[in-house]
Amino acid sequence: MYFLDYETLRVIWWVLLGVLLIGFAVMDGFDLGSGTLLPFIAHDDRERRIVINTVGPVWEGNQVWLILGAGAIFAAWPTVYGTAFSGFYLAMFLVLCSLILRPVGFKYRSKMPGARWRANWDRLLFLGGFVPTLVFGVAVGNALRGVPFRFDDTMRLDYQGGLIGLLNPYALLCGLVSVAMLVMHGATYLAAKAEEPVAGRARRIAFTAAFVLILLFVLAGIWTGSSMGYRITSAVAHGGPSNPLAKTVEAAPEAWLANYSALPWTMLAPLLAIVGALLAAMLSRSGRRDGLAWITSAIGVAGVVATAGVSMFPFILPSSLDPRSSLTVWDSSSSQLTLQVMLIAAAIFLPIIIAYTSFVYGVLRGRVTGQPIDADHESY
């Protein structure tokens, strides 16, 4: 017995996937940004330990959003999962290795007091923040321009790209958008959580990073809107079985831009990105509402991620090699029963995760100071 039709379930899970990816970008994004800023924002070991202590208690919990996002792709969009993780295998392996550096760095940098020992671990913590941030942006850029894969008549995947091919100019621009976005987000977090003088430096960095983000975001938007996009050219059964080869698709420059004309409400996404970043910059400049600056930064992050998603709808992973093989909302999902069962599970557990996360951050509210560090030399 189905309480929702197949088409509606597919759209709901497309929205839920976006929510989970936004949750990851907002919640895990600030600790990736903080790690990226570590060598630049802290001038001595005490200040670096303050920066690390702001994210040390929460970064593992923030990883839940990454697991939820990957799990949702695996269960709700298995063809997308298999294609993306096969095509981006080396890039994802690089991300995984970089993410592993964070827990190792947090635990091992305090095991010896030597300056060189701690400096080396701090460099690895920087890589653990910067590399995933850049690679995630590069991956989104490649998804927007199309990925070189095709399916044969038996749905066997043929991927003809490589790691070097992913590092094209447009994708690197999207990677820089990602770096600027999470540097801004991490800086607003440190401004709200760290004591002076780290907080003051964080405000200045947040102000600059927000304007760099706006500039790069607009440049990427102009490039995307003027030369990229795909269009379905055949009738599609929105509630039909998942079969990517049952449609015809053509590459259509400006198709991504045309989505905003067809669905004017989607303009809210890029507006949120720009307005959120601008407000974060202004509030950081004032230095009086650090918590609100982080909230507006989160709104900007959500707007950037949402912009990529809504511009491509209904495509999830277009193919530059064989446009017909492109994966869309209507032909790459799991079965109707699977989506319905998963929706029930998500309705139960997602509010629990949000409530527990809110409780934890409430308990950990307030600034991180250097007093515990002065008293306990073994902390991070």
Per-residue pLDDT tens digits for 205-228: 999 999 999 999 999 999 998 889
pTM above 0.85? yes
For the chain, the first-to-last Cα distance in angstroms comes to 53
Average pLDDT of span 227-252:
91
Conformational region of residue 4, where left means phi above 0, alpha means psi within -120 to 50, and beta covers everything else = beta
Question: DSSP assignment, residue 35?
Answer: H
* % pLDDT > 90, the chain: 72
pLDDT digits (tens, 9 = 90+) for 342-354: 999 999 999 999 9
Q: Which DSSP helix (H) or strand (E) runs through 158?
A: strand 157-159
User: What's the pLDDT at 380?
Assistant: 46
The closest alpha carbon to 72, from 343, 337, 357, 308, belongs to 343
User: What is the CA 118 to chain-centroid distance, rounded?
Assistant: 29
Residue 2 has pLDDT above 80, yes or no: no
User: What's the pLDDT at 328?
Assistant: 96
CA distance 118 to 348: 43
315 SS3 class: strand
What are the distances in angstroms from CA 167 to CA 108, 163, 170, 176, 300? 32, 7, 8, 12, 25
pLDDT digits (tens, 9 = 90+) for 114-130: 889 999 999 999 999 99
**What is the pLDDT of the chain when averaged over all its residues?**
92
Residue 139 has pLDDT above 90, yes or no: yes
Residue 379 has pLDDT above 60, yes or no: no
Average pLDDT of span 63-86:
91
The closest alpha carbon to 165, from 148, 178, 151, belongs to 148
Residue 378 has pLDDT above 60, yes or no: no
The closest alpha carbon to 328, from 312, 341, 304, belongs to 312
Average pLDDT of span 15-31:
94
